[in-house]
């Protein structure tokens, strides 16, 4: 395992209720991010401490947050918010990309092509060889157009994070 991978796996996040889209972008990068559905500092802190997570929040003037690791997100756009997180924690967005379910925040497992027959559109089945499944919701992922679009987004985020 490279140093970069270790770093990415170690950092876990909890996103406040204003940061649902950012949360999904981080999961796309393979990062562990729970969506809190709250912006109440005490509740965020509770989750952060219990599960050893960094709080991501849009609330700017919160002094109570000093009792936990946190990052105050400045931008309104999820894309730019992702750049803020990537910069702050020195994350490579592509290193562990697409290893986690975007809906459930659960690591994906590889599945045999035969096992997804009939569960994915037949043109996908014919043209792809690598499939992954979320053990929680059963959603099947594959390398394809949709994923390539998402990869482009992550590449843009990576580029953006390297700008001075
Ligand atoms: Zn899932």
- Give the confidence band of 142 by pLDDT, cuts at 50, 70, 90: confident
Overall domain count for the chain: 1
Is the pLDDT assigned to residue 66 strictly greater than 90?
no
Find the mean pLDDT for residues 126-145.
Answer: 88
Compute the distance from residue 141 Cα to the ligand 1 centre, in Å.
10
Compute the distance from residue 143 Cα to the ligand 1 centre, in Å.
16
Is the pLDDT assigned to residue 87 strictly greater than 60?
yes
Please give the mean pLDDT across all residues of the chain: 88
- Choose between 62 and 75: higher pLDDT: 75
pTM for this one? 0.87
Compute the distance from residue 108 Cα to the ligand 1 centre, in Å.
8
Compute the distance from residue 25 Cα to the ligand 1 centre, in Å.
15
Compute the distance from residue 139 Cα to the ligand 1 centre, in Å.
6
Find the mean pLDDT for residues 6-11.
Answer: 58
Is the pLDDT assigned to residue 8 strictly greater than 80?
no
Is the pLDDT assigned to residue 114 strictly greater than 80?
yes
Compute the distance from residue 129 Cα to the ligand 1 centre, in Å.
20
Report helix angle 78-88 to 145-162, nearest 10: 60
Compute the distance from residue 63 Cα to the ligand 1 centre, in Å.
35
CA separation (Å) from 6 to 48, 53, 85? 20, 16, 17
**Domain enclosing residue 134, as ranges:** 1-164
Which runs of E-coded beta strand occur in 19-156?
A: 32-35, 54-57, 70-72, 109-111, 131-133, 140-142
List helix spans (H) across 55-144. Answer: 78-88, 122-127
């Amino acid at each position: 395992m490279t140093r970069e991978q270790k770093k990415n796996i170690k950092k876990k996040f909890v996103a406040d209720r204003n940061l649902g889209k950012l949360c999904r972008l981080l999961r796309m990068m393979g990062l562990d991010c729970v969506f809190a559905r709250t912006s109440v500092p005490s509740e965020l802190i509770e989750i952060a401490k219990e599960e050893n997570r960094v709080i991501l929040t849009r609330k700017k003037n919160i002094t109570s947050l000093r009792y936990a690791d946190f990052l105050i997100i400045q931008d309104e756009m999820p894309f730019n918010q992702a750049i803020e997180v990537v910069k702050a924690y020195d994350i490579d967005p592509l290193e562990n990309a697409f290893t986690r379910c975007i809906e459930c925040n659960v690591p994906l497992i590889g599945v045999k092509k035969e096992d997804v027959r009939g569960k994915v559109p037949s043109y996908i089945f014919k043209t792809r060889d690598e499939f992954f499944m979320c053990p929680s919701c059963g959603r099947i992922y594959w390398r394809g157009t949709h994923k390539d679009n998402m990869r482009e987004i992550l590449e843009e985020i990576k580029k953006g994070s390297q700008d001075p």
